[in-house]
A and B are shown apart, each in its own frame.
Chain A
Amino acid sequence: MSDSLLRVTGVAKRFGPVVTARDVSFEVAAGEALGLVGPNGAGKTTLLDIVGGTQRADAGTVVLDGRDITRLGAAARADRGIARSYQVPRPFGGLTVYENVLVGASFAGQRHARTGPADDAGAQAWHALEVTGMTEVANTPSGSLRLLDRKRLEVARALATRPRLLLLDEIAGGLTDRELPQVVRLVRSLRDDGVAVVWIEHVLHALLDVVDRLMCLAAGEVIAQGDPHDVIRSPEVIEVYLGSTVDAVTDPAPDPATTPPGETA
């Protein structure tokens, strides 16, 4: 299986009596988008932490591009092309929006000098702001941003590292009907450009619009993974969702997220 970019095998993690990951295994191919769903507390964010390197798994391995990165820290993984957005935004409050993004552009990958000299960090940062529509607030201190802009900044910062694998943690929650299609288009264009994406999202119709595969976690275990529409219809998934969310999905109202890319919102 040399064509999988990310291979997670048998990952386990517990906090005292609480199991947040139990024998979790999955793969993501280059340029593939994997959706991650599950009820609150299912261990979705923990899984991203383990892949991103901000938490160590108790057991199991994480392999990126055939290389075992289980023991690497977050910075070394960022260097190898893994980027991460946080569900609860973590801006560098003392820096402007541009400088926040410049951190991503200046550090990850630069040590290996594969992306050219650090001189183009500025260009890379600016580009990330353009793609996420944040150029207007480039000089704003990030500590004074609205919540939605903070979430957008999370994505911009991650993009500025020019990742090969992008881990997104609930970037669509709270977006308006106008903004949602923009996010969907952004993620889709990233994937089409060859970036692998793992996306945790409660806004299911946005997720289903982009992802190639879907994985459902419950109580730290993978209860279903595969074709997105099969997964959301599987009895196990319906059971953990107690029907409510599934109703919304199986009976989709005409929603703006399905607007084809390229059309103006």
Chain B
Amino acid sequence: MSGPAAVAPSTPPATPPTAPTVTRGGRGSWVGGGAMLLVVVLLAAVVPYAVTLGALSSLVMLFALVILGTTWNLLAGYGGMVSVGQQAYVGVGGYALIQLADAVGAPPWAAVLAAGLVGAAIALPTSYLVFRLAGGYFAIGTWVVAEVFRLVTMQIDGLGGGTGLSLSAFRGTDRVERVAFVYWFALALMVAVVLGTYLLMRSRVGLGLTAIRDDRVAASSLGVAVDRGRRLVYVAGSAGAALAGALIALSTLGVTPGSIYSVNWTAAMIFIVVVGGIGTIEGPIVGAVLYWVLQQALAPLGTWYLVVLGAVAVAVVLLAPRGLWGLAAGRYQLFPTTHHVRPLAASATVAPRTGR
């Protein structure tokens, strides 16, 4: 203890202030958490034996969408960074997976995780570039970066140019076995990403990130390292997009630059987050399920699918500006991040930080 007492011995030992009783979440959260656990158990133990392989593959896409929504929400909803270029990392993840699995020979699960790390490794230097831009310029800048990634990928020998790459690591693997593996792995990854995001936002770091989102200047005045916090969010969110990209490539057995670097991924992320409820953990899950259901139900309608998607987005933004989860938030928190304090008896005097 080389504390203040050593420097300013004259300071009387202030009565340590008592901590208030803080509760985070209530019975509703436990019930909701239990229900979600049940859903995960059903998805893991029952669904794979009850539906077709095609349905399983399409559920993998749902899990990837949840990861994309959750991590874009981390950027926009908690970091205040509206990126329109997260497809850059979806693409990096997809290509990295195939290179790591086929060229390096890593087992597919390890290749997916490593692809996430590759996304993070590329996001870190990129952040120094795009963080020079603010607001709308940041949004456009990230899109430009994504286009550059796509064009560069097409120029690199061995990445298949305009036709892309196909995954051969599963060659010789039984189809049922392959789809089941990808399904369970994607489910586990989705659970890990959502839980990880929740734990991050519940922590002290998450509190600082929320402060940065709400008022950057005030946050810095209170000691929150704003640049470091934003960089952390950008790198983590991009790693998440890369994980999702790797999953998509693993499930579809290949990538083409046009589809894996498509801005439609980011459009989907924005839809999922805005319609589901920005700045909440639950919102992107709700949004991803809705997006996926619409996608499944409207696929036969061709272009009308996009029209309906747009109409839904407009309706939600007008009628429920805080998203679908926003209608329930306040009453329910499946992932409680807020602190509820209960008053307690009055305590000591001011304890200034003397002699620092």
Task: Tell whether B17 is near chain A: CB-to-CB under 8 Å.
Answer: yes
> Known pairs A81-B356, A103-B207. 9 more at Cβ < 8 A?
A30-B354, A52-B221, A78-B220, A80-B356, A92-B219, A99-B210, A103-B211, A130-B346, A193-B352
Contact A95 B211 (CB under 8 A): yes
Top 3 closest pairs, chain A to chain B, by CB? A108-B223, A107-B223, A78-B223
Contact B207 A194 (CB under 8 A): no
Report the nearest B residue to A107, measured CB to CB. Answer: B223
Task: Tell whether B218 is near chain A: CB-to-CB under 8 Å.
Answer: yes
Q: How far is the CA of A124 from the CA of B343 in the complex (A)?
A: 14
Report the nearest B residue to A195, measured CB to CB. Answer: B352
Contact A126 B19 (CB under 8 A): yes
Chain A nearest CB, measured from B352 CB (Å):
5
Interface-lining segment among A13-21, A155-163, A231-239, A247-255: A155-163
Residues of A within 8 A of B350 (CB): 127, 131, 159, 189-190, 193, 195
Contact B222 A157 (CB under 8 A): yes
Residues of A within 8 A of B222 (CB): 78, 83, 103-104, 107-108, 157-158, 160-161
Interface-lining segment among B254-262, B303-311, B333-341: B333-341
Chain A nearest CB, measured from B134 CB (Å):
16
Residues of B within 8 A of A93 (CB): 214-215
Interface 1/0 per residue, B207-240 and A, CB below 8 Å: 1101101110111111111100000000000000
Q: If A75-B224, A99-B339 touch, does A164 touch B353 (CB 8 Å cutoff)?
A: yes
Contact B3 A116 (CB under 8 A): yes
Task: Tell whether A212 is near chain B: CB-to-CB under 8 Å.
Answer: no
Task: Tell whether B110 is near chain A: CB-to-CB under 8 Å.
Answer: no
Q: How far is the CA of A118 from the CA of B210 in the complex (A)?
A: 18
Contact A83 B339 (CB under 8 A): no
Contact A135 B343 (CB under 8 A): yes
Contact A114 B218 (CB under 8 A): no
Residues of B within 8 A of A52 (CB): 221
Residues of A within 8 A of B221 (CB): 52-54, 74-75, 78, 83-84, 86, 158
How many residue pairs bridge A and B at CB < 8 Å? 170
Chain B nearest CB, measured from A264 CB (Å):
15
Q: How far is the CA of A164 from the CA of B347 in the complex (A)?
A: 21
Q: List chain A positions with a Cβ less than 8 A from chain B.
A: 30, 52-54, 65, 73-75, 78-81, 83-84, 86, 90-96, 98-100, 102-104, 106-112, 114-116, 118-124, 126-127, 130-131, 135-136, 138-139, 157-164, 189-190, 193-195
Q: How far is the CA of A137 from the CA of B273 in the complex (A)?
A: 30
Task: Tell whether B11 is near chain A: CB-to-CB under 8 Å.
Answer: yes
* Range of interface residues on B (Cβ < 8 Å): 35 or more
Q: Which of A104, A109, A126, A190 makes the CB contact (< 8 A) with B18?
A: A126
Q: How far is the CA of A104 from the CA of B18 in the complex (A)?
A: 17
Residues of B within 8 A of A111 (CB): 223
Contact A162 B353 (CB under 8 A): yes
Q: If A78-B222, A104-B222, A194-B11 touch, does A126 touch B17 (CB 8 Å cutoff)?
A: yes
Q: If A84-B221, A122-B20, A131-B350 touch, does A107 touch B339 (CB 8 Å cutoff)?
A: no
Q: How far is the CA of A194 from the CA of B341 in the complex (A)?
A: 30
Q: Which of A65, A92, A114 makes the CB contact (< 8 A) with B215?
A: A92
Chain A nearest CB, measured from B32 CB (Å):
20
Contact B3 A138 (CB under 8 A): no
Contact A94 B356 (CB under 8 A): no
Chain A nearest CB, measured from B78 CB (Å):
9
Residues of B within 8 A of A126 (CB): 17-20, 341, 344, 347
Q: If A120-B19, A139-B340 touch, does A107 touch B208 (CB 8 Å cutoff)?
A: yes
Q: How far is the CA of A124 from the CA of B350 in the complex (A)?
A: 9
Q: How far is the CA of A86 from the CA of B217 in the complex (A)?
A: 10
Residues of A within 8 A of B211 (CB): 92, 95, 100, 103
Contact B214 A163 (CB under 8 A): no
Contact B22 A106 (CB under 8 A): no
Task: Tell whether B9 is near chain A: CB-to-CB under 8 Å.
Answer: no
Residues of A within 8 A of B54 (CB): none
Residues of B within 8 A of A164 (CB): 352-354, 356
Interface 1/0 per residue, B33-62 and A, CB below 8 Å: 000000000000000000000000000000
